[in-house]
Chain A
Amino acid sequence: MEDYIKITKNGLWNNNQALVALLGLCPLLAVTSNIVNAIGLGLATTFVLVASNTTISIFRHYIRKEIRIPVFVLLIASFVTIVELVMQSYFYDLYLILGIFVPLIVTNCAILGRAEAFASKNSWDKSLLDGLMMGVGFSIVLVILGAMRELIGSGTLFDQSALLLGDLGSTLSVTVFTDYQGTLMAVLPPGAFIGLGLIVAIKNLIDQKLSQKSV
């Protein structure tokens, strides 16, 4: 039981792929200009992580050491292709926005990293949980960054959520500041770097406070 708690803590906080390992920055920085994009890519990444971790851990005794990397990449790429096809057929509007970033999930080192560092050494249930928690941890950072940039950049939250949720989503969209001209820098790439930097700083600050307390 302790193992599972440790895996959960690792994924969400201690070894958060986006904040500690700083992996998967390409999609992280590129799509987080609003919450809806962030959620979309977060879900896709989490699904791929769970699927690849579980599969790799089930077959871990058969995957020979010298071909493990090609096999991992092959499996990850297959899952990403499946996600892309499903997205194209059921969330076509979202696909039109996220389209070019979905194939890039393959190059998200966080996924290959978890396959190599965890799934190839642990049982399938632990690997599944690890994939899920790493994915959720990554998605939370995506969503926080997306919310920050959307709020500062365009003064809205959950704009265009109809893309993800259909008609239900159009009621979710909130305009926080009316008549807001927008802060362009938050929407452009520098905003992503600065925002991520701030989140990392806040996390480190909290960690520091916690360790001071325990000493």
Chain B
Amino acid sequence: MKLQPIFKAGILLFTFTAISIFFVSMVQDSTQERIKYNERQLLIQRLGELVTSYDNNILQDKFFKKTMLHGIEQTLTIYPAKNNNQTFAYLIEHTYPNGYSGSIRLLTGVGVDKKLLGVRVIAHKETPGLGDKIETQKSDWIKQFLGLSLSNPTKQNWKVKQDGGIFDAFTGATVTPRAIVTATYQVLELFSKPCLFNEKPCN
């Protein structure tokens, strides 16, 4: 008989849990289509900033590649952009671990001619007001990579101005632009190796 209050409390707690689960799952059920749609739209929009005229289902054709990049082992997500079944560019999603405060997630577009189609930041934790000028909403800085390649500019110029290169750094923030420049150069280097598209591992 002593157990009775505990049983009552247990049943009550169970009832509340069941009702809560019911309502939450109802909401989840009715919103999940839209949430998936939103996520897809965002990705398409981001990819569309780098490549425009592709006719394949770029989200379905993506593939993953595990490799060493930026000094860490990571899994790249690679989106091939095709026209008439002919791939003309690859969009590579990768992580650069050494931003000013944590890692920066980047999307780098490279054409088959090994020229950059552009770089976009997907996620970062850089200082608001200083380092966040790498976002396209805040400044056009990141758009300057369009058309560049491993040989243009030359290797010693692939640096921010403080390090003797050609890329501007923002006032008060050098680490963030340096990180983007370095990351972009290393992606181009990786791209020039055939292993990125083979079954074989890169290193």
Task: List residues of A whose CB falls within 8 A of some B CB.
Answer: 33, 62-64, 66-67, 70-71, 74-75, 77-78, 81-82, 85-86, 88-90, 92, 96, 153-154, 160, 181-182, 184, 187-188
A90 and B130 alpha carbons, distance in the complex (Å): 30
Residues of chain B with a CB closer than 8 A to A63's CB = 12
A182 and B132 alpha carbons, distance in the complex (Å): 13
- 13 cross-chain CB contacts under 8 A: A64-B12, A74-B17, A74-B20, A77-B20, A78-B20, A81-B24, A82-B24, A85-B35, A86-B27, A88-B31, A92-B42, A184-B172, A188-B128
- Whether B200 is near chain A, meaning CB under 8 Å from some CB there, is no
- Whether B2 is near chain A, meaning CB under 8 Å from some CB there, is no
Q: Are B128 and A33 in contact (CB under 8 A)?
A: yes
Residues of chain A with a CB closer than 8 A to B42's CB = 92, 96
Residues of chain B with a CB closer than 8 A to A96's CB = 42
Q: Which of B23, B31, B129 contacts A78 (CB 8 A)?
A: B23
A78 and B18 alpha carbons, distance in the complex (Å): 11
Q: Are B20 and A75 in contact (CB under 8 A)?
A: yes
- Whether B197 is near chain A, meaning CB under 8 Å from some CB there, is no
CB distance from B154 to the nearest CB of A (A): 34
Q: Are B12 and A85 in contact (CB under 8 A)?
A: no
**Minimal Cβ-Cβ distance residue in A for B172:** A184
Residues of chain A with a CB closer than 8 A to B31's CB = 85-86, 88-89
A154 and B128 alpha carbons, distance in the complex (Å): 10
CB proximity to A under 8 Å, residues B35-56? 35, 38-39, 42
Q: Are B129 and A184 in contact (CB under 8 A)?
A: yes
CB distance from B25 to the nearest CB of A (A): 10
**Minimal Cβ-Cβ distance residue in A for B29:** A85
Residues of chain B with a CB closer than 8 A to A188's CB = 127-128
CB distance from B15 to the nearest CB of A (A): 9
A36 and B130 alpha carbons, distance in the complex (Å): 20
- Whether B57 is near chain A, meaning CB under 8 Å from some CB there, is no
- Whether B16 is near chain A, meaning CB under 8 Å from some CB there, is yes
Q: Are A67 and B9 in contact (CB under 8 A)?
A: yes
Interface-centre pick from B12, B17, B39 (highest chain A CB count, 10 A): B12
Residues of chain B with a CB closer than 8 A to A153's CB = 128-129
Q: A82-B24, A184-B172 are in contact. List 20 more A-B contacts (CB 8 A).
A: A33-B128, A64-B8, A64-B9, A66-B9, A67-B9, A74-B17, A75-B16, A75-B20, A81-B27, A85-B27, A88-B35, A88-B38, A90-B34, A96-B42, A153-B128, A160-B137, A184-B130, A187-B128, A187-B129, A188-B128
A-B interface, 5 closest residue pairs, ranked by CB to CB distance from nearest: A89-B34, A92-B38, A78-B20, A89-B31, A85-B31
Q: Are B34 and A71 in contact (CB under 8 A)?
A: no
Q: Which of B23, B34, B129, B172 contacts A154 (CB 8 A)?
A: B129
**Minimal Cβ-Cβ distance residue in A for B10:** A67
A92 and B12 alpha carbons, distance in the complex (Å): 36
- Whether B28 is near chain A, meaning CB under 8 Å from some CB there, is yes
Q: Which of A64, A67, A82, A90 contacts B23 (CB 8 A)?
A: A82
CB distance from B176 to the nearest CB of A (A): 14
A74 and B24 alpha carbons, distance in the complex (Å): 11
CB distance from B139 to the nearest CB of A (A): 13
**Minimal Cβ-Cβ distance residue in B for A159:** B137
A188 and B39 alpha carbons, distance in the complex (Å): 29
Residues of chain B with a CB closer than 8 A to A181's CB = 171
A138 and B26 alpha carbons, distance in the complex (Å): 29
Residues of chain A with a CB closer than 8 A to B127's CB = 184, 188
Q: Are A89 and B35 in contact (CB under 8 A)?
A: yes
A154 and B130 alpha carbons, distance in the complex (Å): 11
- Whether B1 is near chain A, meaning CB under 8 Å from some CB there, is no
CB distance from A30 to the nearest CB of B (A): 12
Q: Are B24 and A78 in contact (CB under 8 A)?
A: yes
